[in-house]
Structure formats: structure tokens, C-alpha cells
Amino acid sequence: MDEGLEFRARQSIEQVEEGTELAPKFGADGLMACITTDAQSDEVLMLGSMNEKAFRLTLETGEAHYFSRARQVLWHKGVTSGLVQKGIEARIDDDQDALWLRVAISGSGASCHVGYRSCFYRAVPHGGQVDQALSFVEDRKTFDPVAV
Amino acid sequence: MDEGLEFRARQSIEQVEEGTELAPKFGADGLMACITTDAQSDEVLMLGSMNEKAFRLTLETGEAHYFSRARQVLWHKGVTSGLVQKGIEARIDDDQDALWLRVAISGSGASCHVGYRSCFYRAVPHGGQVDQALSFVEDRKTFDPVAV
């Protein structure tokens, strides 16, 4: 692609991990994982995927774009629902194959298609409580997905 | 595997997304993504992978276990460094194919092999600042990976 944002070639572990050049790595499926958190509450909202185009658009426009693995399409999050995710900060990990995006969300603040704020709305019992049921940590949906 | 923790068969979207049964989904590579955050600061520390064994051990022992894709081995995080990740809360996402683990870390609190607290120690310029260099958000390493 010949878009504005320039990526550097990956040359060494030192360059990728210790340097200041953006040299991202997309997997065999062309995708990079993106952890999206609410910049205000620090809650993890979702784990998305970005192809190179979505990654570029996210950085260039400052609004989260993903690649939907289910639908195999580029996806400008919130364009139909109004719940656009505005990027506050983007961070890349040591080997530059994962993104952490801190966002602000307009409207109800929901990010999950099921209707909750976060996709991670259920806690899994662990330690001594293994084998108990999942418990809901959000007490109500922020919107009715059927109505929307 | 015939271990203690019982997983339910995945039967419907409603069961998986709206229910309280643990019915996790591992990818074609046998792995599930795990977002690990510091339960105190809410900072994202790392994005790891778990196979079924690592997932079970994490829930059963209350300490984070991962599957190292690079080394293709089960990995009890922190056992050699002393920086064990103690699970405070585990949450699973809507379609039960990703985990969010909130942890407390002993010692220096580092999680990244490069020496930083978080693997996400560099910010990526976005919006009007695209094409500027990455910037370090952690001002110093918590340990010297060469010495360790």
C-alpha cells in the first residue's frame, strides 16, 4: 500500500524492541491483535484484530478501525451505532505484534455487541472456587441489541 | 484431559454469550488469547496465549500459566524470575475465546522480558502526529534483562 504512514523494515531484535521505529508485524493471517481499553475507567473493552489497513486508518484518523474475522471486512467501529472509539493513546508491545489502544467512547459507552460496556462482562471462578458458575460483573446492558 | 475443571460443550450463541456456563473456545492452533493487566494500576502488562492446559492451571492454581508460542512449551510465568502473577480476577469475553486476567505481581512488578513493567512501553504517534518516532512511556527498566 502506498499510504502516508511509513513502516520500517524489521531488521533486528534491538531495533524492534529497544528502538523508536514503527516496524509492526502482522501474523500469517495478516492480522495484529488490538487490546482496547476505556481511557477513563481503564476497563478492558474488547480484544480486536487489525489488518494493515485497519492499523493505518486507526493511527491516521485517530478512530479505531478493526478487521472483522467473522465477516472478513474492514470495520470502522461505531459508525452505524454512533459508538465510535476515539483513540486517546496507542501503545505497541515489545516485538511490535500487538497494539494497546486507549479510547474514549461517545454515547452509552458500550463496546460489546451483546449490549454490555465491555465484552468481558463475566468473571470466571478460580482458585478454590473453580467449577462454580460464571458471574456477571455488569449488572445491566447499556443497550438492547435486539432493538438496535 | 481428565482434570478437575469441567468445561461445557458449546451449544448455542445464547448459552455461550448470555449464560453462566464455562464453554471456552480454543483456536485452530489450540490457543486462547489472554490480556493480562495489573490489578492495582489497571495497566495492560502483556498479551499472552494459553492452551487448554495453561488455562486450566491458571484457574485451578490462581497463578498465571501461558503457552509460549516461541518456545512451544507450557510456561508458569515468574517461576524462574520470582515475578509470579497472582490472579485477582479472571474474566472471559462474549464468545468465550479470550481471557482478561487481572493480576498482582510480586517483586519489582515487571512482566516484560525486555525489562519494563509492561510489554507496552512505547506509544505510537497517531492523528496529526503520525510518522513521528515511537516514544517510551516507561522511563526506566525495572530490571536488567542481561544481568538476570
Q: In which residue are the cell numbers 449464560 written? A: B19
H or E, element range at B48:
strand B44-50
Q: How far is A134 from chain B (nearest CA, A)?
A: 4
Q: How do residues A106-119 score in pLDDT, each as one tens digit? A: 777 777 888 898 99
- By Cβ distance, the residue of A92, A113, A134 closest to B124 is A92
Chain Cα centroid distance, residue A88: 13
A52-70: per-residue pLDDT in tens? 999 999 999 999 999 999 8
Mean pLDDT confidence for A84-109: 93
Whether chain A has a CB inside 8 Å of the CB on B25: the answer is no
Three-state SS letters, A75-120: EECCCCCCCCEEEEEEEECCCCCEEEEEEEECCCCCCCCCCCCCCC
Number of neighbours of residue A2 by Cβ within 10 angstroms: 3
List the single best residue of A18, A71, A120 to mutate versus B (max B Cβ within 10 A).
Answer: A120
What ipTM does the predicted assembly reach?
Answer: 0.91
Q: What percent of chain A has pLDDT over 70?
A: 93
* Interface contacts (A, B; CB < 8 Å): 140
Collect all residues of chain B within an 8 Å Cβ-Cβ radius of residue A57. none
Binned at pLDDT 50, 70 and 90, residue A21 comes out as very high
Sketch out chain A's domains with CATH numbers: 13-113 (3.10.20.810)
Name residues whose C-beta falls within 8 Å of residue B43's C-beta, 6 or more positions apart in sequence: A42, B37, B117, B118, B120
> What separation in angstroms does the CA of A16 have from each of A11, A12, A97, B68, B143?
7, 6, 10, 19, 19
Mean pLDDT by groups of 10 residues along chain B of 148 residues? 75 95 95 97 96 96 95 93 92 97 85 88 86 86 67
User: What average pLDDT does this structure show over A26-39?
Assistant: 96
* Residues in chain A within 8 Å Cβ distance of B46: 93
As a whole number of Å, the end-to-end CA separation of chain B is 36
By the 8 A CB rule, do B96 and B16 touch?
A: yes
Q: What is the pLDDT of residue B146?
A: 65
pLDDT in tens, A130-147: 778 999 998 777 776 666
At residue A102, does pLDDT exceed 50? Answer: yes
Position A10 pLDDT exceeds 70: yes
Q: CB-based contact (8 Å) between B5 and chain A?
A: yes
| B interface test, pick of A47, A102, A113 with most B CB neighbours within 10 Å | A47
Confirm if A36 and A111 have CB atoms less than 8 A apart.
yes
Q: What integer pLDDT is reported at residue A131 of this predicted model?
A: 74
